[in-house]
C-alpha cells in the first residue's frame, strides 16, 4: 500500500470515527447479552484474572501432566462452586478465598514449588470453588443463563491459556526467571486484593 493510499484510508477512518453516533441497537439481555455478561465477568475482575492466569502458569511451570490436569480440574470444580452459589448455599469468606488463591498460586510459582500432582490439583480445585461461587451468585436474573455459563467458562479457559502460553517460557533460563517473577507479581496482587488496597 502506498503512502498516499494509507493517508487516505486513515483520513476516511478518522472521518468515520469523528462522525459516529452512539449505538442503541444492542440489548443486554437474551443470548448475546448473557454471553457478554458471562464472558466479561471473569475478565473484568482483576482478582479472577490473576488467579486464572496463575493456574495456567502453574500448570506450565510444573510441566506434564499438570499442564492439562489443572486446566481440566479447575472448570469442573468451578462449576460445582457455581452450583453451590446458584442454589443459595452459603459459603463463608468467598472474596478472601479468591484473593488467597492469587497469593498461594503466585507464591508456588515464585518459589518454584513442585508438589505432587494430586496436591496441586487439590489446591487449585479448592480455590476453584470460590471463583465458581462468585460467578454463580452474581448471575444476573435478566440474562440468558445458558449463554452466561458458556461465556464465563470460555473466558476462564482463555485466561488459563494465556497463563499456559506465558508459562511455556520456562524452557529457557531467562523465561524461567520471567515466569517466577510473574508468580511473585500475582501473589503481591493477591495481597493487595486481600488487604483491600486493590
* 25 interacts with another protein by CB under 8 A: no
Nearest residue to 140 via CA among 131, 129, 130, 151 = 151
Binding span for another protein by CB under 8 A among 45-53, 83-91, 103-111, 112-120: 83-91
Query: Near another protein by CB under 8 A, which window of 17-25, 105-113, 144-152, 183-191?
Result: 144-152
Under the binding rule (CB under 8 A), the answer on residue 67 touching another protein is yes
Nearer to another protein, 73 or 103 (CB): 73
What's the chain's Rg over C-alpha atoms?
20
Q: How far apart are CA 181 and CA 189, in angstroms?
A: 12
Largest separation between any pair of C-alpha atoms in the chain: 64
Q: Which of 7, 72, 112, 165 binds another protein (CB under 8 A)?
A: 72
**Is 197 a binder of another protein (CB under 8 A)?**
no
Q: Is 124 in the site for another protein (CB under 8 A)?
A: no
Indicate whether 62 belongs to the interface with another protein (CB under 8 A). Answer: no
Is there a contact between 162 and 60 (Cβ–Cβ < 8 Å)? no
Q: Residue 118, interface with another protein (CB under 8 A)?
A: no
Q: How far is the CB of 122 from another protein (least distance, A)?
A: 15
Strand partners, 80: none
Residue 106 corresponds to which cell in the numbers above? 503466585
Verify binding: residue 150, another protein, rule CB under 8 A. Answer: yes
Using CB under 8 A as the binding rule, whether residue 170 contacts another protein is answered as no
Cα dist. 135→4, 40, 112, 123, 168 in Å? 50, 11, 30, 19, 29
Q: Does 129 bind another protein (CB under 8 A)?
A: no
Give per-residue burial for 51-77: e unless 16+ CB within 10 Å, then b. Answer: bbbbbbbbbbbbeeebbebbbebbbeb
Stretch that binds another protein, among 10-18, 68-76, 119-127, 181-189 (CB under 8 A): 68-76
**The cell 498461594 sits on which residue?**
104
| Residue among 76, 93, 112, 119 that touches another protein (CB under 8 A) | 76
* Positions in the binding site for another protein (CB under 8 A): 67-68, 71-76, 78-80, 82-83, 86-88, 136, 145-146, 149-150, 153-154, 157, 160
Amino acid at each position: 500500500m502506498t503512502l498516499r493510499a494509507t493517508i487516505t484510508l486513515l483520513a476516511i477512518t478518522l472521518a468515520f470515527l469523528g462522525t459516529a453516533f452512539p449505538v442503541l441497537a444492542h440489548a443486554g439481555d437474551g443470548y448475546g447479552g448473557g454471553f457478554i455478561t458471562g464472558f466479561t465477568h471473569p475478565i473484568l475482575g482483576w482478582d479472577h484474572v490473576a488467579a486464572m492466569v496463575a493456574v495456567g502458569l502453574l500448570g506450565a511451570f510444573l510441566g506434564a501432566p499438570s499442564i492439562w490436569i489443572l486446566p481440566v480440574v479447575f472448570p469442573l470444580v468451578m462449576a460445582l462452586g457455581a452450583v453451590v452459589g446458584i442454589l443459595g448455599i452459603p459459603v463463608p469468606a468467598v472474596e478472601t478465598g479468591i484473593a488467597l488463591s492469587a497469593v498461594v498460586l503466585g507464591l508456588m510459582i515464585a518459589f518454584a514449588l513442585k508438589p505432587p500432582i494430586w496436591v496441586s490439583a487439590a489446591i487449585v480445585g479448592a480455590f476453584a470453588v470460590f471463583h465458581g461461587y462468585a460467578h454463580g451468585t452474581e448471575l444476573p436474573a435478566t440474562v440468558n443463563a445458558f449463554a452466561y455459563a458458556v461465556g464465563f467458562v470460555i473466558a476462564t479457559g482463555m485466561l488459563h491459556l494465556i497463563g499456559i502460553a506465558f508459562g511455556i517460557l520456562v524452557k529457557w533460563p531467562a523465561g524461567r526467571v520471567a515466569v517466577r517473577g510473574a508468580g511473585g507479581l500475582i501473589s503481591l496482587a493477591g495481597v493487595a486484593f486481600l488487604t483491600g488496597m486493590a
